[in-house]
């Protein structure tokens, strides 16, 4: 009985980050990498997976060490743990795909200051045993990746007429170049948020 | 890397503005830009931390290169930035308690401001020398303050206008930021030597 209730809570932990508390669309955290690297679907996917990896590893380690870290220096400890995993990811990406490494550039190392990771460490991993902490972090990571993909795909389709490097519309398509330039990032994310806000408002008025 | 100091300053201030073109420091940009009187001190405090972080990063990078410990770069940068922010916080509490209270939670959050770590990482990646690093961090800080103040000015006006329900909040702020960013793209080409 206890096992089954635990299973449900674990499942909820996982789903929370994907939908109900999606880091990009609901909490609007981690904006800097979200907007900077999402000029194409491929970059967005790489960034999302890298962030998810750091998120899961640091959440697991912090959760394991949660009873040993003194309260006064906890933020500094979390930052050092996160920075360690980010350094690891930095070298892994460099070894696996040099093209991705060049495209993401300094933004891989900037994962350290992504508010989502420190936020999860402080709000969740420091208070929970490893399994729920890791599941929660994994959900958040997936949610973040979905958010990045939603931005990256829209920007690549509109701005370059391609999706994951495959041309969609043929030669007659005039690319909407502003979408792959910085302002496009703001516009597309603003558009998504507007869509969600409008949807929430409509649902609310239907119920009321 | 034969750009002059003035060029680096102007380019990081305008055409590749930290907030509007490189997407660094968006959290405080969206968070503190509601009112002009908090936007200005926040910009100045962040600029100061950026300058100190840039100087420390320059020294650290040389030191790490000397001992061939480059893989520790990220960790040492972030530790230095965290301590600098702590110092600024203590100094501000001692010399200007009113300002300290006004900035509240956003002061310690400078640690996780991408703009600060961004300065350190980009100057390393681009191989700037000492003078160039200083010009880069000053331009970045001034650019951050400029974007923050512009945004605060626009948002103060918005409070007086009638906005459709779904448009309120972050969505509108992002659209505004997009328009500002579009305007700043007009500066493209400034400072580039012919």
**pTM confidence score:** 0.84
CA distances from B159 to A15, B130, B164 (A): 36, 44, 12
Number of helical (H) and strand (E) elements in chain B, helices listed first? 8, 0
Give the distance from residue A110's alpha carbon to the nearest chain B alpha carbon, in angstroms.
Answer: 7
Kindly state whether A84 is in contact with chain B, defined as any CB-CB distance less than 8 angstroms. yes
Compute the average pLDDT of residues B78-91: 83
Give the distance from residue A9's alpha carbon to the nearest chain B alpha carbon, in angstroms.
Answer: 31
Nearest of A88, A97, A111, A99 to residue A33 by alpha carbon: A111
Query: Residue A3: pLDDT band by 50, 70, 90 thresholds?
Result: very low
All residues of chain A having their beta carbon less than 8 Å from the beta carbon of residue B173 are 190
Give the distance from residue B19's alpha carbon to the nearest chain A alpha carbon, in angstroms.
Answer: 9
Cβ neighbours around B173 below 10 Å, total: 23
Kindly state whether A198 is in contact with chain B, defined as any CB-CB distance less than 8 angstroms. yes
pLDDT of residue B129: 86
Give the H/E segment covering residue A166: strand A166-167
B23 vs A32, A80, A83: nearest CB: A32
Look at A105 and B75 and tell me if their CB atoms are within 8 Å. Answer: no
Average pLDDT, chain A: 83
Least trusted range by pLDDT, from B15-24, B105-114, B141-150: B105-114
Domain ranges of chain A: 3-164+174-207
Give the H/E segment covering residue A120: helix A115-120
Residue A134 has pLDDT above 70, yes or no: yes
Sole residue written with tokens 């460490």: A121
pLDDT of residue A2: 43
CA distances from A99 to A36, A208, B36, B130, B188 (A): 17, 52, 42, 30, 26
Nearest of A208, A142, A175 to residue A39 by alpha carbon: A175
pLDDT of residue A53: 93
Q: Could you give the count of Cα atoms lying within 13 Å of A177 in the half-sphere of its Cβ? A: 3
Distance from the first to the final alpha carbon of chain A: 38
DSSP label at residue A144: H
Kindly state whether B187 is in contact with chain A, defined as any CB-CB distance less than 8 angstroms. no
Compute the average pLDDT of residues B115-133: 86
Q: Could you give the count of Cα atoms lying within 13 Å of B143 in the half-sphere of its Cβ? A: 34
Residue A4 has pLDDT above 60, yes or no: no
Cβ neighbours around B86 below 10 Å, total: 14
B74 vs A31, A83, A118: nearest CB: A83
Kindly state whether B147 is in contact with chain A, defined as any CB-CB distance less than 8 angstroms. no
Predicted confidence (pLDDT) per residue in B145-174, tens digit: 999 999 998 888 888 888 777 777 778 888
Give the H/E segment covering residue B175: helix B170-185
Query: Residue B194: pLDDT band by 50, 70, 90 thresholds?
Result: very low
**What's the CA gap between A37 and A62, in Å, rounded?**
28
């Amino acid at each position: 009985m206890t096992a089954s209730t635990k299973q449900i809570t674990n499942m909820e932990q996982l789903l929370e980050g994907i939908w109900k508390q999606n880091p990009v669309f609901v909490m609007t955290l981690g904006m800097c990498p979200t907007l900077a690297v999402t000029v194409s679907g491929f970059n967005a996917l790489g960034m999302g997976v890298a962030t998810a990896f750091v998120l899961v590893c640091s959440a697991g380690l912090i959760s394991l060490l949660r009873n040993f870290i003194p309260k006064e220096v906890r933020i500094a400890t979390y930052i050092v743990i996160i920075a360690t995993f980010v350094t690891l990811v930095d070298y892994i990406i460099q070894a696996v795909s040099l093209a991705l490494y060049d495209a993401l550039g300094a933004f891989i190392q900037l994962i350290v200051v992504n508010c989502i990771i420190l936020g999860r460490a402080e709000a969740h991993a420091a208070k929970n045993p490893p399994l729920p902490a890791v599941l929660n972090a994994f959900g958040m990571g997936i949610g973040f990746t979905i958010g990045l993909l939603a931005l990256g795909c829209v920007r690549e389709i509109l701005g370059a007429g391609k999706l994951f490097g495959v041309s969609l519309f043929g030669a007659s398509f005039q690319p909407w170049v502003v979408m792959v330039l910085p302002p496009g990032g703001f516009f597309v994310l603003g558009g998504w948020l507007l869509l969600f806000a409008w949807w929430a408002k409509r649902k609310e008025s239907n119920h009321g | 890397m034969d750009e002059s100091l003035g060029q680096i300053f102007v380019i990081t201030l305008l055409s590749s503005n930290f907030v509007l073109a490189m997407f660094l420091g968006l959290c405080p940009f969206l968070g503190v830009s509601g009112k002009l009187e908090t936007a200005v001190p926040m910009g100045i405090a962040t600029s100061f931390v950026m300058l100190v972080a840039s100087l420390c990063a320059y020294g650290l990078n040389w030191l790490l290169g000397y001992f061939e410990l480059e893989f520790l770069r990220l960790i040492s940068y972030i530790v230095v930035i965290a301590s600098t922010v702590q110092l600024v916080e203590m100094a501000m509490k001692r010399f200007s308690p009113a300002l300290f209270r006004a900035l509240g939670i956003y002061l310690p959050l400078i640690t996780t401001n991408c703009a600060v770590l961004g300065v350190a990482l980009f100057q390393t990646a681009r191989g700037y020398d000492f003078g160039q690093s200083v010009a880069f961090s000053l331009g970045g800080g001034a650019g951050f303050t400029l974007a923050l103040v512009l945004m605060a000015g626009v948002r103060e006006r918005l409070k007086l206008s009638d906005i459709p329900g779904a448009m309120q909040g972050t969505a509108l702020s992002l659209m505004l930021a997009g328009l500002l960013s579009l305007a700043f793209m007009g500066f493209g080409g400034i400072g580039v030597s012919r």
